[in-house]
């Protein structure tokens, strides 16, 4: 149930010029709070990874008063190099949280367990028809097609050196005109993000990834923990205090208590309500689909373990009709909740009561 985004909206983003974006993303206010709210103190958060190029989208996020903002670093998408991500981050940092003292934390949404064929690093053919073998020119770290139906997304073997180089190190990724970053992590640091929000950590659950791990003589879960440690260490070496939040895969802590020392927090989608894969904000199946009780009980067991370890727990619930009750339910467990729609292309219309206008 990972909220992976298809790249259908990218075509519209390509039409946005640098000049227009400069108008949309002016310099931050000098009166902005200097220090971010520490992650454990966050009581509200917002999550948007599509539609950030639309007029007013970034301003709305900045002015909404959320403690934590998770956004897509759009310029890493092929053809979107003109999107002023660093200016977006600066503008978001110019906001203030509800306490009127701190600025919001701003995290970059990045997929560490899936490769996406619209990103800067994709140089291979783009066709993999369902039921056919993986294309011969594709790298060996690509394991399968996305199980949730997101077009152009492919689970990867995170232990493969070539994927680690793309995601973390950037030692052998070469140069491309207009690209001033060498890896996915490098881009987030260069653009001024306070940290990263890691999607698709749960790639180790995919059967094709497990088969690949067996063939390589490794354990996919253990290798995922090692990957997260490497990413954390690399980020900390360059940007002390860099925040790392893991989305989903809370069960990775089973047998790996060291995970509590690697990530700063965990987020879970759809504990109570989820939405089907869609790019349409108005899709009736993009919200209020009830999560099976067996899934929910597993989620809560593992999330409670993170709470017991002293780490903050965030949840993204895809509900409109039951937002108020879901905020209350999450708060009763000590979770920081955000209720929205699966498209994640706008600021929610159902914010928590403390931020409702």
- Per-residue tens of pLDDT for the chain, all 357 residues: 444 444 333 333 333 333 333 334 443 343 455 799 999 999 999 999 999 999 999 999 999 999 999 999 866 665 555 678 999 999 999 999 988 899 999 999 999 999 999 898 999 998 888 778 889 999 999 999 888 877 889 999 999 999 999 999 999 999 887 788 999 999 999 999 999 999 999 999 999 999 999 999 999 999 999 999 999 999 999 999 999 999 999 999 999 999 999 999 999 999 999 998 777 899 999 999 999 999 999 999 999 999 999 999 999 999 999 999 999 999 999 999 999 999 999 999 999 999 986
Q: Which domain holds residue 131?
A: 10-355
Write the CATH number for 64.
3.20.20.70
Q: How many domains does the chain have?
A: 1
Task: List the one residue out of 329, 336, 319, 92 whose CA is nearest residue 193.
Answer: 92
Q: Is residue 4 part of a domain?
A: no
Q: Is residue 3 part of a domain?
A: no
Task: List the one residue out of 353, 345, 354 whose CA is nearest residue 61.
Answer: 345
Q: Is residue 310 part of a domain?
A: yes
Q: Is residue 296 part of a domain?
A: yes
Cα dihedral sign for 269, 273, 275, 280?
Answer: negative
Q: Is residue 161 part of a domain?
A: yes
Note the helical H segments in 131-239.
161-164, 184-190, 207-216, 220-238
H helix and E strand count, the chain:
10, 12
Q: What is the CA radius of gyration of the chain?
A: 19
Q: Please check whether residue 348 is in contact with residue 9, taking contact to mean a CB–CB distance below 8 angstroms.
A: no
C-alpha to C-alpha distance for 129 and 302, rounded to whole angstroms: 36
Q: Is residue 1 part of a domain?
A: no
3-state SS of 42-108?
CCCEEEECCCCCCCCHHHHHHHCCCCEEEECCHHHECCCCCCCHHHHHHHHHCCCCCCCCCECEEEE
Q: Is residue 65 part of a domain?
A: yes
**Lookup: tokens for 222:** 């253990």
Q: Please check whether residue 318 is in contact with residue 269, taking contact to mean a CB–CB distance below 8 angstroms.
A: yes
Q: Please check whether residue 345 is in contact with residue 313, taking contact to mean a CB–CB distance below 8 angstroms.
A: no
Q: Is residue 5 part of a domain?
A: no
C-alpha to C-alpha distance for 100 and 17, rounded to whole angstroms: 34
């Amino acid at each position: 149930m990972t909220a992976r985004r298809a790249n259908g909206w990218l075509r519209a983003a390509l039409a946005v010029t640098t000049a227009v974006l400069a108008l949309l993303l002016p310099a931050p206010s000098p009166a902005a709070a200097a220090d971010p709210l520490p992650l454990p103190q966050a009581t509200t958060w917002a999550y948007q990874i599509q539609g950030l190029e639309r007029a007013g989208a970034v301003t709305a996020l900045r002015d909404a008063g959320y403690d934590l903002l998770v956004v897509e670093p759009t310029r890493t998408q092929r053809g979107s190099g003109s999107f002023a991500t660093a200016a977006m981050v600066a503008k978001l940092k110019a906001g203030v949280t509800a306490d009127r003292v701190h600025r919001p934390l701003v995290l970059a949404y990045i997929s560490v367990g899936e490769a996406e064929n619209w990103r800067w690093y994709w140089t291979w053919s783009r066709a993999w028809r369902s039921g056919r073998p993986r294309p011969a020119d594709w790298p060996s770290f690509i394991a399968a097609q996305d199980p949730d139906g997101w077009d152009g997304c492919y689970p990867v073997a995170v232990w493969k050196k070539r994927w680690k180089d793309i995601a973390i190190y950037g030692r052998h990724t070469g140069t491309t005109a207009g690209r001033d970053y060498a890896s996915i992590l490098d881009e987030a640091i260069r653009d001024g993000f306070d940290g990263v929000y890691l999607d698709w950590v749960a790639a180790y659950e995919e059967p094709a990834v497990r088969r690949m791990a067996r063939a390589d003589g490794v354990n996919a879960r253990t290798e995922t923990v090692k990957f997260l440690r490497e990413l954390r260490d690399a980020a900390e070496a360059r940007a002390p205090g860099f925040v790392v939040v893991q989305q989903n895969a809370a069960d990775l802590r089973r047998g790996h208590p060291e995970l509590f020392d690697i990530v700063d927090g965990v987020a879970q989608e759809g504990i109570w309500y989820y939405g089907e894969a869609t790019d349409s904000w108005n899709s009736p199946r993009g919200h209020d689909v009830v999560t099976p009780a067996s899934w929910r009980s597993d989620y809560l067991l593992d999330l409670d373990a993170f709470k017991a370890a002293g780490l903050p727990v965030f949840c993204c619930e895809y509900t409109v009709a039951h937002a108020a009750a879901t905020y209350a339910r999450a708060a009763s467990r000590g979770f920081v909740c955000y209720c929205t729609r699966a498209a994640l292309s706008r600021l929610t219309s159902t914010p928590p009561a403390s931020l409702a206008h």
